[in-house]
Each structure stands twice: as C-alpha cells, then as structure tokens.
C-alpha cells in the first residue's frame, strides 16, 4: 500500500523546510512506500526554491508548482492529480495538526472511502492545546451548523485542514472541484455525499504553529456562506 501526502504551500519560506522534513521523517518511520508532494501555490517568496531543494535531497519528495496563486483547493487538486498512492491525504504546511494524525487518517481509510479530521472529536490526547480567538470559534460553530443544515449532512467539522481519500475517490472528487478558495472543503464533502461515498471522522488536536492565520475572517466567511448555497444548488 502506497501513501501520498500533499502539503499545499503559499509563501511558506519560513516554515516549509522544517515542517516538510517532520512529515517526511514521520512517513519514513511508519510506511514502507510513500510520497510527499509539496504544491507551490504560486508563491512569491522562496517557497518553490526550498521545495525543489528538498526534492533534490530526499527521493520521497515531489514538487508541483505553478506561477500564479490559485488557492488552497486548487493546490490540493493539483497534488491529487499528480499523486499515485493508494491513499491520498493532505494536511496544512504549517502543521496545525501533528503528523501523527496522518496515521489516524490512514486507519479510517482502511474502512471508509473518505476520512476527515474533526476538531470537535477529542481523542486520546484530550482537548485542544490551543484555544482559537472567540470570534473564530463562534464562526466555526455557526458555519458547520449552517452547512450541515443546507446540505443535510451531520459532520462535526468541515474545515479542519487534514483529510484523506482512497485513490479512486480522490481522483473522482477533485476532478469535479470548482471552488478553489477556503470553501473548497464544503464542495469536497458535498461531492462525496452526492456520490454516496462512505465518510469517517477522526479527532484531531490543534497545535501551536503560527502566530496568525491566513484566513480573512469576514471576507472568507461571507464567500463561504454563499459557496454553500451555490454548492447545494449545483450538486445536491
């Protein structure tokens, strides 16, 4: 069984090398056959240079790159298109979730077509180590409640940045993806639901990784609310 892990990266020169090595070392210790795909989402800093340097030094690392920033969803779609693993996983390049959760994701994929991390299911490590600002926590709760109501689903979390798919289902879902910004997770799960794919959740614990988030709370929240309605109309 081959595992593919995708790291989308946009202007991550400060953290990419360290975090990619952490993921690569974890995979090497736990899987005999794997690949780590770094997707440079049109970065304007040294992200591409650093990714290419890692690929030269580590045979397990591959780089996918394109010249203009297109969004996280587009980056993961590009990674999925290039991936050859039996299981295809992605996680955030800032390692908001420890690489150890990749193993939990893989375990869920042993019995499901799609695996999604949930910040609201606490595993053996207990509650989240890092508390998000109150306004972000409230927006997260409101959004998942709203999305579940509109899409008629029952997910405990939708936008945790760690998910996995069996190869054939990843290829099918991402070939149809049209939302490339932060709302892409909703379309991914809507496509999986519409395809009657089995979806399993696993608990993740948020870690302290960076001082600030790239999410623009007000603007991205408004876009995501409208995306949910559009996705409902198009897919379900």
Tens of pLDDT along 82-126? 999 999 999 999 999 999 999 999 999 999 999 999 998 864 444
CA distance 174 to 139: 26
pLDDT digits (tens, 9 = 90+) for 151-193: 999 999 999 999 999 999 999 999 999 999 878 999 999 999 9
pLDDT at 136: 62
**Model confidence pTM above 0.75:** yes
Domain ranges of the chain: 3-235
- For the residues 214-220, what does the mean pLDDT come to? 62
189 in Cβ contact with 160 (< 8 Å): no
- Nearby residues of 197 by Cβ (< 8 Å), 6 or more positions away: 113, 114, 169, 173
Which residues touch 149 (CB under 8 Å, ≥6 apart)?
none
Q: CA-to-CA distance for 117 and 101, rounded, in angstroms?
A: 8
Q: Which residue has the tokens 């975090």?
A: 19
pLDDT band at 225 (very low <50, low <70, confident <90, very high): confident
List the beta bridge partners of residue 164: 89, 115
**Residue 216 pLDDT more than 70?**
no
Looking at domain 3-235, what is its CATH homologous superfamily?
Spore Coat Polysaccharide Biosynthesis Protein SpsA; Chain A (3.90.550.10)
pLDDT in tens, 118-152: 998 864 444 444 455 555 667 778 899 999 999 99
DSSP H stretches of helix in 94-183: 100-109, 134-151, 167-175
């Amino acid at each position: 069984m081959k595992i593919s892990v995708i790291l989308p990266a946009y202007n991550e020169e400060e953290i990419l090398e360290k975090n990619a090595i952490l993921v690569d070392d974890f995979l090497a210790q736990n899987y005999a056959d794997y690949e780590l795909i770094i997707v440079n989402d049109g970065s304007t800093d040294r992200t591409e240079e650093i990714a290419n340097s890692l690929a030269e030094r580590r045979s397990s690392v591959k780089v996918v790159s394109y010249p203009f920033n297109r969004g996280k969803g587009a980056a993961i779609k590009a990674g999925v298109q290039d991936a050859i693993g039996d299981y295809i996983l992605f996680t955030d390049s800032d390692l908001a979730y420890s690489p150890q959760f990749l193993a939990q994701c893989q375990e869920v994929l042993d019995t499901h077509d799609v695996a999604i991390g949930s910040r609201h299911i606490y595993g053996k490590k207990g509650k989240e180590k890092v508390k998000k600002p109150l306004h972000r926590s409230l927006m997260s709760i409101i959004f998942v409640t709203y999305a579940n109501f509109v899409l008629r689903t029952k997910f405990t979390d939708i936008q945790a940045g760690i998910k996995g798919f069996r190869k054939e289902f990843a290829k099918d879902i991402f070939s149809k993806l049209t939302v490339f910004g932060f709302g892409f997770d909703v379309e991914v799960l809507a496509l999986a639901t519409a395809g009657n794919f089995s979806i399993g959740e696993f608990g993740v614990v948020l870690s302290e990784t960076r001082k600030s988030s790239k999410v623009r709370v007000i603007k991205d929240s408004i876009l995501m609310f409208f995306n949910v309605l559009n996705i409902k109309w198009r897919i379900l």
